[in-house]
Structure 1
Amino acid sequence: MKANYKFSNLCGTVYQQGNLVFTADGNSILSPVGNRVSVFDLVNNKSRTYPFENRKNIAAIALSPDSSVLISVDEDGRALLVNFRRGVVLHHHNFQKPVKDIKFSPCGKYFAVTHGSHVQVWRTPNHLVREFAPFVLHRTYTAHHGDVESIQWSPDSKCFLTTSRDMTARLFTLDPLEGFKPKTFAGHKDLVIAGYFSTDGKTIYTVSRDGAVFVWKAKQDENKMDEDDSDSDASVASSSRLEALGDMIAKTRWGIHKKHFFNQPGTRVVCSTFHHASNLLIVGFSTGVFGIWEMPAFSNIHTLSISQEKISSVAINPSGEWLAFGAQKLGQLLVWEWQSESYVLKQQGHYYDMNTLAYAPDGQTIATGGDDGKVKVWNADSGFCFVTFTEHSAPISSVFFAKQGSVLFSASLDGTVRAYDLIRYRNFRTFTSPSPVQFASLAVDPSGEVVAAGSTDSFEIYLWSVQTGKLLDILTGHEGPVCALDFSPAGVNQLASGSWDRSIRIWNVFGRSRAVEPVEVNSDVLAVAFRPDGKEICASTLDGQVTIFSVAQEGLKQVNTIEGRKDVAGGRKMGDRTTAANSTSGKSYNSIAYSADGRCVLAGGNSKYVALYDVREGEGVMVKKYQISENLSLDGTQEFLDSRKVNEAGLNVDMNDDRGDESDLEDRLDHSLPGASRAAGDLSKRRYRREARTKCIRFSPTGRSWAAASTEGLLIYSLDDNILFDPFELSIDLTPQSILSTLASHEYLKALIMSFRLNEKALTQRVYEGIPRGDIRLVARQVPEVYVPTLIRFIAEHLENSPHLEFDLLWASSLLMVHGRFLKNRSGEFASILRMLQKSLLGSQTVISRLCEENTSSLNYLMDQAKVNENAQEDVQMVNGV
């Protein structure tokens, strides 16, 4: 069993806070998700989350114009310099103050960052050279009397415009100019959200929070001078004009030319952006409405309500076709194509915590349920949610796939269990109990015909028939809430149940005998799981123990006990009076899962750690411990608290309610219940510090990955298969030239193996396609077994993107015929590769069958037309003959 699982992707969270950024080609968008950064490929419909983490939630991100350097800054002003193409952290830097905005200059040589009421301009570090001091300060600019809100560079990178909470905007030059003083743009009656330059630099636009847009131009006397200068210098090249643009902007005496107002009653401007090429001003409002105005005429092109909450961030791609919006409160990310008025991307995670998850049998689909009563189905490859079910009216407690994978079941605290058809995407069956109860657990038998749910208030287990929807049986005997259920995968009709009454029961569901002997444990049972062969049961209890039972005819027999409290312990909360090492009370695993081969058990709970145990032959040894988050914005991620943040009352200052410091009125309102306020741990507060924990853990059916429903979203960890090359198999003679020469000398097997060792995809494809059709069977027979999975994976990928269908089918058939026994004996290990091949073959079959049906219809039509023409000619001949 491999244990080198690494963070692969983050689903379920698409946006939290901060600004959205498009890449230079406009095909992808970067979104901050907690203390990580996700990249959404809008063309290929895929998303990925970088593995690096900031210390706290990200407040601002910036991408260099050549898309090589990414800077992400957290709430405290600590920044990471990242090689964007490789996702590798190059340097750490602390700006010492919270950062509101950070922008790269259009030339890419500098970037400006807000520093309280000041602005700092730094030289862009070189990502290709290892520098001792990569962050070099160019200048610090001081003029504002309030915190700077935004920065905007001029097109020539010689000037930049800043806006502030002091209701002004100011113009600075990158380098000192003789006689230049920072220009002040005053007149707004509220804080200025942003300011923008026009393409020619002759117009400046400023947008304030109260919905006013001021157009600034040169004063009248300067306009005449500019006209005279333009007539005399009409022959100056465009390059020299661009060089003089910064001087022209700096020397201009700016004045208000026009004042415009959005006239949106009862709302405020939250964010805005400007597209220079098309002069489009895009504005997001606090009511979830956005609008597009064409400047300088200020003509409203489009206005649409896209969210129920305020739009926190807006961005536009370089071509000006796609608009991206982020809503912080709902966690929404929307990409809108305004010309065709259609969504390119529309994603939203669970509104609050994600409670449970389940893998589909194909290992590519994951279902999640949350406190918002929604059931979402995600594609593990793309990271996108493709269907959401909203029929439940209370938090989801458990979800489960049927063995065939086309039916999804969910249990909720609203007293219903629902079955969803994943082909037609509808709720086709609803199961209820005779009297209203809350369901806390769910299980489906291997045949998919019986569904069981355990209740929290009546302590009973209900069984329904999926075909008829009728209640089959009610199992009684537990004296506490039934929090865990699991059917035996071996198909022996055994149902295991765990309850808070400190007992585990094995029910023979379809047997005549109803006698069930409970097995007592030391504490409340939180989770139970059958081993894939059905011969063992693993149970987690409230005292932190993980107990292994052997399933026999005479009952359960305890074979091993794992003391997991010390393993799950770690992470000190802000209000804890004890250290992290001693805060083991209350620490336990509330979710456990067996690996696909049954050798290991994965366990997670109210902690930042997830532990992997080896349970073969009663060992119970912890193999590895994974930390799901290093985000200090979450509670329980620190091992030691900073004593400098403890006040005289012994409370942490981070727990102080700073709601009154918010800028928006609704954020300053106190919604706590009257008379319920306490010094610490006020449970009536609507806002409190979220805790790093894991609510549910599941292994994929192939065992190549596992997923965790955590505070930050759906975390996916997978085995690291993306190894570029194996240096132990390389030699100094193994080069692309030597591989091509080997291929030219008709040594096909040797060339193929050499290309696999070097692992250059383009080179491997060239060797693969260079093997003659007649030699495929011979080469497939001689391929070493260690390279068979790699070759099958390559064929599966080649099938999706290549027109050489017969060539690929011949390769696949030859490999399966020769190495079929080897693949069958290791079916669990190679399941993901075989599924990939099956998916590619089914895709090709679908395309060909659709093409054949279209050709058949066309041929039938042509034959019918030919018959019609023949009959018409015969009729004409008969008429002529008559």
Structure 2
Amino acid sequence: IYLPYTGTTIGSFGYVPMEQMEGGKAYAASDLYSLGTTCFHLLTNVHPWDLWKKQGYRWVNSWRKHLKQPVSEQLWWIMDRLLPESYQHRYQSVDQVLEVLEFQSATPANPSQSTSKYHESFLNFLTSLRQNDQLKKQVMMGGVSLLSLGLITQGYGYFRYQTFPSNLSFLIAGLPSSTYLKTTLNGHTNSVRSIAVSPDSQYLVSGSNDHTVKIWDLPKGELVRTLNGHDGNVYSVAITPDGETIASGGDDNTIKIWNLKTGELKNNLTGHQGFISSVAISSDGKTLVSGSYDHTIKVWDLPTGKLKQTLTGETNWVSSVVISPDGKTLVSGNGGNTIRIWDLDTGNLKKTLTGHRDSVVSLIISPDGKTLFSSSLDRNIKIWDLTIGELKNTLTGHIYYVHSLAISPDGKTLVSGSANNTIKVWNVETGELKNTLTGHTNWVSSLAISPDGKTLVSGSRDDSIKLWKLP
């Protein structure tokens, strides 16, 4: 384990994060990366250095495939926040990790769980670390060894035998999810990260960590074709208003432009120096916007593929971009918990919205262009008046990160997907929770509602896509 002092790269290769390798700088998030790699090594018996030599830091995107035995889904998503290559995308402090763990452990358990020796010892460790500032300081000053000892030795069995959280079915409201589920589409071999529906509601496009883009016949629920070309995970897909063109972006730092009907690759846009996290297309089909881990937003002329301008000013990775229906306003969210509103024509920053307590991961604008919805790792959904940039309402109810949003064509129904595998359906006007849909066995990473309003589509890290009747 390396020693976390600025200006050094002392440590065991494979456990040292990128920022330490490149510049010697260390942060709390650097310690937590080393914690994640330590957990990985103990869970898999695979040394991170062996993977790093072959793949560099890209091995962290597929760490799960090295597991010898199943572990709880909760450990999955905690590890996903410990291991990102970029330190801005990891947990930023021990407190953040403890908050998540304590939130989970506060969920009522059944008697056999509550008497578990892992449960008791793990909670004791968490309580001591939370209440003792000196102990917490020693953890951070001493690297990850103490935290690793407590979290791994006390908590491994706790996670391994899935003793928390308890079954949360008592939170499910409304009719059974099976009432609304139409079908499940299988075909991707890794997490489904992004989905989009064509304007005529005939085609569904999905991007995945299996490095492919798939085109589906939405009414039939059948695969039409698979597009290969990305050299990495596909994080975002979008379809032009005429339904003819697909844009896809991912961790190969490129944006690919495809013909939806033929599958032909029309263009390959380069220029970003980091993962493409989000792409959006204007309502006239002429402008493409991309957000990236390189902290920039690029605006492209879609027909020609020429770069029009690069928007700078983001101090963190850009997680989401969305364009207003009139094509005049661009909104971006970032890993630093802020939302920025830009003039799309001039590239000028108009306003910065604050209120979320953690990374903003999804944005969507109402069909009339007046309301902005944002979701965050802070487990909240915020509703903003986009015309004046003021907060109107905050929706609470998700118990884990809210990763995806979709809005119905009439603007009356909001749908949100979470890291606890559920989908929630909200009344926009009242903020009332209408229903909770279950069925996915991993994070709900992407949502879309067909323009005809008949179908809700959800993509998940369980590698599947589900089609639902919109409740």
Shorter chain as denominator, the TM-score bin is 0.5 to 0.7
Q: Deviations over 1:104-138 (max 9, x none)?
A: xxxxxxxxxxxxxxxxxxxxxxxxxxxxxxxxxxx
Is the Cα contact below 8 Å between 1:503 and 1:520 reproduced in 2?
yes
Post-superposition offset of 1:529: 0.5
Matched, 1:444 2:281: yes
1:847-858 alignment runs, 5 A limit: none
Give the conservation status (yes or no) of the 8 Å contact 1:538–1:546: yes
2:439 aligned with 1:695, yes or no?
no
* Deviation digits for residues 355-401 of structure 1 (CA, Å, limit 9, x no counterpart): 11111111121001111110000012222211111011100000011
Matches within 5 A, 1:51-70: none
Instruction: Summarize deviations over 1:840-874 as a string: whole Å, max 9, x none.
Output: xxxxxxxxxxxxxxxxxxxxxxxxxxxxxxxxxxx
Q: Secondary structure at the match of 1:543?
A: coil
Partner of 1:379: 217
- In structure 1, the partner of 2:433 is 622
Question: How many Å separate the matches in 2 of 1:402 and 1:443?
Answer: 9
Deviations 1:509-564 (Å, cap 9, x if unpaired)? 10375554444533221111001111000001111111000012xx3111111113
Contact 2:184-2:467 within 8 A present in 1 as well: no
**Is the 8 Å Cα contact of residues 277 and 319 (structure 2) preserved in structure 1?**
yes
What residue number does 1:557 align with? 390
State the one-letter code of the partner of 2:318: V
Deviations 1:589-642 (A, max 9, x none): 1001111111111001211221001111xx21100111124xxxxxxxxxxxxx
Q: Is the 8 A contact 2:407 2:449 kept in 1?
A: yes
Matched positions, count: 297
**Residues 38-57 of structure 1: matches in 2 within 5 Å?**
none
Alpha-carbon spacing, 1:518–1:390, altered in 2? closer, same or farther (3 Å): same
Structure 1 residues 515, 601: CA separation in 2 closer, same or farther (over 3 Å shift)?
Answer: closer
Amino acid at match of 2:278: S
Secondary structure of the residue that 1:707 maps to in structure 2? strand
Quick check: 1:364–1:380 contact (8 Å CA) kept in 2?
A: yes
For residue 594 of structure 1, what is the aligned residue in structure 2? 407
Superposition map of 1:223-302 within 5 A? none
Equivalent residue, structure 2, for 1:611: 424
Conservation of the 8 A alpha-carbon contact between 1:5 and 1:718: no
Displacement of 1:719 in angstroms is 3.5
What residue is the counterpart of 2:15 in the other structure? none
Letter of the 1:704 counterpart: K
1:19-60 alpha-carbon deviations (Å, 9 max, x no partner) = xxxxxxxxxxxxxxxxxxxxxxxxxxxxxxxxxxxxxxxxxx
Quick check: which has more Rg, 1 or 2? Answer: 1
**Distance (whole Å) between structure 1 residues aligned to residue 226 and residue 217 of structure 2:** 12
Structure 1 residue 353 and structure 2 residue 182: aligned? no
1:708 aligns with 2:458: yes
Change (3 A) 1:464 1:589: same
Preserved contact between residue 183 and residue 467 of structure 2 (Cα < 8 Å): no
Matched residue SS, 1:540: strand
Given that 1:6 and 1:720 are in contact with CA atoms closer than 8 Å, whether structure 2 keeps it comes out as no
User: Which ranges in structure 2 are unaligned for 5 or more consecutive residues?
Assistant: 1-174
| C-alpha deviation, 1:712, in angstroms | 4.2
Alignment partner, residue 268 of structure 2: 430
Q: Specify whether residues 512 and 381 from structure 1 end up closer, same or farther in structure 2 by C-alpha distance, changes over 3 A only.
A: closer
- Separation of aligned partners in 2, 1:515 and 1:494: 9
The 3 A distance-change label for structure 1 pair 471 and 703 is same
Which residue, 314, 334, 341 being the options, matches 1:499?
A: 334
Tell me: CA distance 1:388–1:412, structure 2 relative to 1, closer, same or farther (3 Å). Answer: same
Matches within 5 A, 1:827-842: none
Question: Is the 2:341–2:349 contact (alpha carbons within 8 Å) kept by the matching residues of 1?
Answer: no
Q: Which runs of 5+ in 1 are unaligned?
A: 14-348, 566-585, 630-690, 722-882
Decide which of 388, 404, 415 is 2:242's aligned counterpart: 404
SS in 2 for 1:436: coil
Q: Which amino acid aligns with 2:380?
A: Q
The answer to whether the 8 A contact 1:528-1:538 is kept is yes
Asked if 2 retains the 8 angstrom alpha-carbon contact of 1:362 and 1:701, the reply is: yes
TM-score w.r.t. the length of structure 1 is 0.32
Deviation readout 1:821-857 (Å, 9 max, x if unpaired): xxxxxxxxxxxxxxxxxxxxxxxxxxxxxxxxxxxxx
Distance 1:563 1:354, change over 3 A: same
* Residues in 2 aligned to 1:603 and 1:440: alpha-carbon distance in whole angstroms: 19
Corresponding position of 1:808: none
User: What amino acid sits opposite 1:697 in the alignment?
Assistant: L
Aligned to 1:22: none
Deviation at 1:705, TM superposition (A): 1.2
Say if 1:447 and 1:720 are closer, same or farther in 2 by CA, change over 3 A: closer
Q: Assess, with a 3 A threshold, how the Cα gap between structure 1 residues 597 and 709 changes in structure 2: closer, same or farther.
A: same
Distance 1:452 1:406, change over 3 A: same
1:158-177 to 2 correspondences below 5 Å = none
Give the SS at the match of 2:339: strand
**Once the two structures are aligned, what percentage of the paired residues are identical?**
24
| Corresponding residue SS for 1:558 | strand
User: 2:372 aligned with 1:537, yes or no?
Assistant: yes
Q: Aligned partners of 2:200, 2:322: CA distance in 1, in Å?
A: 20
1:642-696 deviations in whole A, cap 9, x for unaligned?
xxxxxxxxxxxxxxxxxxxxxxxxxxxxxxxxxxxxxxxxxxxxxxxxx522111
- Contact 1:607/1:692 (<8 A) preserved: yes
Tell me the amino acid that sits aligned with residue 436 of structure 2.
Answer: K
**1:739-766 Cα deviation digits (max 9, x unpaired):** xxxxxxxxxxxxxxxxxxxxxxxxxxxx
Q: 2 CA distance for matches of 1:453 and 1:720? A: 29
> Residues 807-822 of structure 1: matches in 2 within 5 Å?
none
Q: Which residue of 2 aligns with 1:510?
A: 345
Instruction: Say which structure, 1 or 2, has more relative contact order (CA 8 Å, 6+ apart).
Output: 2
| Matched-pair contact (CA < 8 Å) for 1:454–1:484 | yes
* 1:751-806 residue CA offsets vs partner (Å, 9 max, x unmatched): xxxxxxxxxxxxxxxxxxxxxxxxxxxxxxxxxxxxxxxxxxxxxxxxxxxxxxxx
Distance in 1 separating the partners of 2:327 and 2:287: 13
- In the aligned structure 1, how far is the partner of 2:267 from the partner of 2:295? 24
Provide, for residues 159-211 of structure 1, a one-character-per-residue CA deviation record: whole Å limited to 9, x for no partner.
Answer: xxxxxxxxxxxxxxxxxxxxxxxxxxxxxxxxxxxxxxxxxxxxxxxxxxxxx
Residue 381 of structure 2 corresponds to residue 546 of structure 1: yes
Partner of 1:181: none
Deviation readout 1:48-95 (Å, 9 max, x if unpaired): xxxxxxxxxxxxxxxxxxxxxxxxxxxxxxxxxxxxxxxxxxxxxxxx
> Which of residues 193, 201, 206 is equivalent to 1:363?
201
Q: 1:467 to 1:715 in 2, by over 3 A?
A: closer
**CA contact under 8 A between 1:5 and 1:705: conserved in structure 2?**
no
* 1:137-176 aligned within 5 A: none
For 1:562 and 1:376, the matched residues in 2 are separated by: 33
| TM-aligned CA deviation for residue 11 of structure 1 | 4.5
Describe the superposition over 1:571-594 as per-residue Cα deviations: whole angstroms up to 9, x where unpaired: xxxxxxxxxxxxxxx812100111
Distance 1:391 1:437 in 2: 18
Give 1 or 2: higher helix fraction. 2
Match of 1:473 among 299, 309, 322: 309
Q: Secondary structure of 2:190's match?
A: coil
Map 1:449-848 → 2, pairs under 5 A: 449-456=286-293, 458-489=294-325, 491-511=326-346, 513-552=348-387, 555-565=388-398, 587-616=400-429, 619-629=430-440, 692-719=442-469
Cα distance change, pair 512–537 in 1 and its aligned pair in 2 (3 A): closer
| CA contact 1:11–1:384 (8 Å) conserved in 2 | no
Structure 2 distance, partners of 1:720, 1:356, is 19
